[in-house]
Chains A and B, each alone.
Chain A
Amino acid sequence: MSTAVTSPAATPPLLELRKVSRRFGARPDLAARIAIGIGAAKPLPVVHALDEIDLTIREGEVLGLVGESGCGKSTLGRIAAGILTPSQGQVFWKGEDRANLRGRRKRDADLEAQMIFQNPMAALNPRMSVEALVAEAPKVHGLIKGNSGSYVDEYLRKAGFDAGMKNRLPHQFSGGQRARVNIARALAVQPDFLVCDESVAALDVSIQAQILNLFMDLREQLDLTYLFVSHDLGVVEHVSDRVAIMYLGRIIEEAPVDEVFARPNHPYTQQLLAEVPRIRPGKRRFAAMKGELPSPLNPPKGCHFHPRCPLAHDRCRLEAPKMREIAPGHRSACHLNDKQAA
């Protein structure tokens, strides 16, 4: 998919994240704070889900976000969709700081970014008919005047769902059909930007192909921008224009899809991309990356990847590497790039 991307100087990017961090954890009450203060209790555990993320999504592009479970990619997706606020840092939506938006502007910004979740059954109210599910949000926001029937039909059709079955309940449909209802519901508020969080992960291969085709058709018809969050490298490689790779709360590499698959720079990316599922008959040895993702409760110092990295040296254990541009549009956070430059 090639896209005409307008020069970033002319128009602000659709979405820009600047030094966004997000922590999860209980806030200690007064007694707990005193206890911690005098050293009588341990500080409460805090999950560092995101650590100073910088990310730009331009209008019309598909950005694939890849990482292992627990690396923070869903949290980043939620912040991008505007349903979660960062603990630190700023999120700019079409050039404006989302935290400063009020009233009508805020409502519009909220509607313009929509999210499609992994498990359609958990995202759909089991007691509401398909029609009611799709009509609810546009009705509340005044996008439908009067009878909702034809409006709902249009969006169901766009999602490839037979509008004749709109009076049925979600449990009466297969996983693929539910995914389509979920998509129709997101589209019904006329968004510009969709965050797809593992939206095809639970589907069978043949159904997954149908839904991926639908995503690509909708992109052309409706000029949509996507943030495609997935652990499936094959899927991300197929749909994305640009790919960002996350590891334990940080983006460690970011590049156009051809570039990252042809010339992965970060040692983590290199090992991860070796696992892209490809059908190649003939027994092979499955090479394995050592270790597991460390706990985000207590991330390793320095470069988060150093305990699993075959190329780690002393500096990696102390200092977190900065993102550096190593080729046009290709950024990577690894100390080895400094060595080569020097």
Chain B
Amino acid sequence: MTALLEVRDLITEFPGENNAGLRAVDEVSFQLARGEVLGLVGESGSGKSVTGFSIMGLVDWPGRIAGGQILFDGKDLAGADEETRRSLRGRRIAMVFQDPMMTLNPVLRIGTQITEALHAHTHISGTEARARARDALGLVGIPSPEERLDAYPHEFSGGMRQRVAIAIALLHQPDLIIADEPTTALDVTIQAQIISEFQKLTEQQGTAVIWITHDLAIVSGLADRIAVMYGGRIVESGGIQEVLEAPRHPYTRGLIRSVPSENSRGSRLAQIPGVTPSLARMPSGCAFRTRCNRSTEACATRPGQFGDALAYHRCFHPYEEALA
């Protein structure tokens, strides 16, 4: 099986004090096959969004990709020039952001924005572009799409705006969509609507998805595989079933057990002590060792990837047993 996307030892740095590079993404490796859904899970500051931005080529100066490879369909994007990047972005790789207003320009009509995205990669007439834009809106479940083409983003509700953003991402039937917390800001009922539309459309088009989120519950029902990030590194990665039912890494286990619905009603929640350290104060060796109840002296050295490319963890003292 050739992977659609293979990320190898990706490092993305931002300059810190005294020119020390702060690694927001630190030797991250994962693979994605065509049509596969990967859940990239982590808490704030774990580097999950920067990983997405790095693949899209959207890391702004002074941040930079400082090492590793991003092989998309066999081509390395890490060192690719802006020309190559632009020809792929929006056409073969698209991104959906948490805030749809990051995609949408507030002073342009929705129709203008969609046709603009169409003209960027295809040579079609204005009438044809408008027809395709209307179809795209209809596809994501926006009522009376013809009229809505002439509306401005502020005339839409949050959920409807996110549908527009998804419609734009799907325009060119990309091979890969990076969805960065696209439903986090929405109500549960709207969230379910958006996920169900998204799921249907990406399956129809055979699009591979990287779904970036902090919400394990969503990922559990959506993804084929999962990668859990902490302190810029993937601490555990594997099939959704294996990882959620028998997590090897103490952080994964702690994360699952701190979700309220995984605890019996009214009981004390299993909590991970302490807070995520900032990038500048990341402990040497295993990044999680200061909060981990299994850490030993061995953890002061950096754990490698134990396992193969598709299923691995980074822990010297992994759990062997399934989660009770």
A residues lining the B interface (CB < 8 Å): 1-2, 68-69, 174-177, 204-210, 212-213, 216, 231-235, 237-239, 257-258, 271-272, 275-290, 292-293
- Is the Cβ of B266 less than 8 Å from the Cβ of A279? no
Q: How distant is the Cα of A237 from the Cα of B271 in the complex, in angstroms?
A: 18
Contact with A along B9-45 (1 / 0, CB 8 A): 0000000000000000000000000000000000110
- Is the Cβ of A68 less than 8 Å from the Cβ of B269? no
Q: Please judge, given known A-B contacts A279-B217, A286-B192, whether A213 and B268 are in contact too, CB under 8 Å.
A: yes
Interface class of chain B by DSSP = helix
Q: Please judge, given known A-B contacts A231-B188, A275-B192, whether A283 and B224 are in contact too, CB under 8 Å.
A: yes
Contact with A along B200-227 (1 / 0, CB 8 A): 0000000000000011111011111000
Q: How distant is the Cα of A290 from the Cα of B269 in the complex, in angstroms?
A: 34
Q: Which residues on A sit within 8 Å (CB–CB) of B268? A: 213, 216
Q: Which residues on B sit within 8 Å (CB–CB) of A2? A: 266
Pairs across A and B, CB under 8 Å, 14 listed: A1-B266, A2-B266, A205-B258, A205-B259, A206-B258, A209-B260, A210-B271, A216-B268, A238-B265, A271-B189, A277-B259, A279-B220, A283-B221, A285-B199
Q: How distant is the Cα of A174 from the Cα of B45 in the complex, in angstroms?
A: 12
Q: Does B155 contact A (CB under 8 A)?
A: no
Q: How distant is the Cα of A140 from the Cα of B130 in the complex, in angstroms?
A: 64
B271: contacting residue among A213, A275, A277, CB under 8 A: A213
- Is the Cβ of B275 less than 8 Å from the Cβ of A176? yes
Q: Does B256 contact A (CB under 8 A)?
A: yes
Known A231-B187, A281-B220; 9 more pairs at CB < 8 Å: A204-B44, A207-B275, A212-B269, A234-B261, A238-B261, A277-B215, A286-B221, A286-B222, A287-B196
- Is the Cβ of A209 less than 8 Å from the Cβ of B258? yes
- Is the Cβ of B221 less than 8 Å from the Cβ of A282? yes
- Is the Cβ of B241 less than 8 Å from the Cβ of A275? no
Interface size bracket, B side: 35 or more
Contact with A along B166-208 (1 / 0, CB 8 A): 0000000000000000000001111111011101000000000
A209: contacting residue among B217, B240, B270, CB under 8 A: B270
- Is the Cβ of B221 less than 8 Å from the Cβ of A280? yes
B261: contacting residue among A69, A174, A177, A276, CB under 8 A: A276
Q: Which residues on B sit within 8 Å (CB–CB) of A206? A: 43, 254-255, 258, 271-272, 276
Residue of B nearest to A204 (CB): B43
Q: Measured between C-beta atoms, what is the minimum distance from B226 to chain A in Å? A: 9
Residue of B nearest to A295 (CB): B157
Q: Which residues on A sit within 8 Å (CB–CB) of B215? A: 277
From 220 to 274 in chain B, residues with beta carbon under 8 angstroms from any chain A beta carbon are: 220-224, 240-241, 244-245, 254-256, 258-263, 265-266, 268-272
Q: How distant is the Cα of A237 from the Cα of B254 in the complex, in angstroms?
A: 20
- Is the Cβ of A272 less than 8 Å from the Cβ of B188? yes
Q: Which of B189, B196, B258, B265 has the most CB of A within 10 A?
A: B189
- Is the Cβ of A209 less than 8 Å from the Cβ of B157? no
Q: Measured between C-beta atoms, what is the minimum distance from B158 to chain A in Å? A: 8
Residue of A nearest to B262 (CB): A279
Q: How distant is the Cα of A1 from the Cα of B266 in the complex, in angstroms?
A: 5
Q: Measured between C-beta atoms, what is the minimum distance from A72 to chain B in Å? A: 14
- Is the Cβ of B196 less than 8 Å from the Cβ of A286? yes
Q: How distant is the Cα of A238 from the Cα of B222 in the complex, in angstroms?
A: 24
- Is the Cβ of B222 less than 8 Å from the Cβ of A283? yes
Q: Please judge, given known A-B contacts A1-B266, A283-B224, whether A205 and B188 are in contact too, CB under 8 Å.
A: no
Q: Measured between C-beta atoms, what is the minimum distance from B278 to chain A in Å? A: 9
Q: Which residues on B sit within 8 Å (CB–CB) of A286? A: 192, 195-196, 199, 221-222
From 123 to 178 in chain B, residues with beta carbon under 8 angstroms from any chain A beta carbon are: 157, 159-160
Q: Which residues on A sit within 8 Å (CB–CB) of B241? A: 281-282
Q: How distant is the Cα of A237 from the Cα of B264 in the complex, in angstroms?
A: 10
Q: Measured between C-beta atoms, what is the minimum distance from A63 to chain B in Å? A: 14
Q: Which residues on B sit within 8 Å (CB–CB) of A288? A: 189, 192-193, 195-197
Residue of B nearest to A202 (CB): B44
- Is the Cβ of B259 less than 8 Å from the Cβ of A234? yes
Q: Which residues on A sit within 8 Å (CB–CB) of B217? A: 234, 277-280
Closest 9 CB pairs of A and B: A277-B217, A209-B258, A238-B260, A1-B266, A288-B193, A204-B43, A286-B196, A209-B269, A234-B261
Q: How distant is the Cα of A292 from the Cα of B268 in the complex, in angstroms?
A: 35
Q: Measured between C-beta atoms, what is the minimum distance from B26 to chain A in Å? A: 19
Q: How distant is the Cα of A210 from the Cα of B268 in the complex, in angstroms?
A: 9
- Is the Cβ of A238 less than 8 Å from the Cβ of B195? no
Q: How distant is the Cα of A281 from the Cα of B219 in the complex, in angstroms?
A: 8
- Is the Cβ of B190 less than 8 Å from the Cβ of A238? no
Q: Which residues on B sit within 8 Å (CB–CB) of A205? A: 43, 214, 216, 255, 258-259
Q: How distant is the Cα of A288 from the Cα of B270 in the complex, in angstroms?
A: 31
Q: Which residues on A sit within 8 Å (CB–CB) of B187? A: 68-69, 231, 293
Q: How distant is the Cα of A101 from the Cα of B241 in the complex, in angstroms?
A: 59
Q: Which residues on B sit within 8 Å (CB–CB) of A285? A: 196, 199
Q: Which residues on B sit within 8 Å (CB–CB) of A208? A: 258
Q: Which residues on B sit within 8 Å (CB–CB) of A1? A: 265-266
Residue of B nearest to A258 (CB): B265
B244: contacting residue among A68, A209, A281, CB under 8 A: A281
Q: Measured between C-beta atoms, what is the minimum distance from A306 to chain B in Å? A: 16
- Is the Cβ of B260 less than 8 Å from the Cβ of A279? no
Contact with A along B262-303 (1 / 0, CB 8 A): 110110111110011000000000000000000000000000
- Is the Cβ of A275 less than 8 Å from the Cβ of B189? yes
Q: Please judge, given known A-B contacts A276-B261, A277-B215, A279-B256, whether A68 and B188 are in contact too, CB under 8 Å.
A: yes
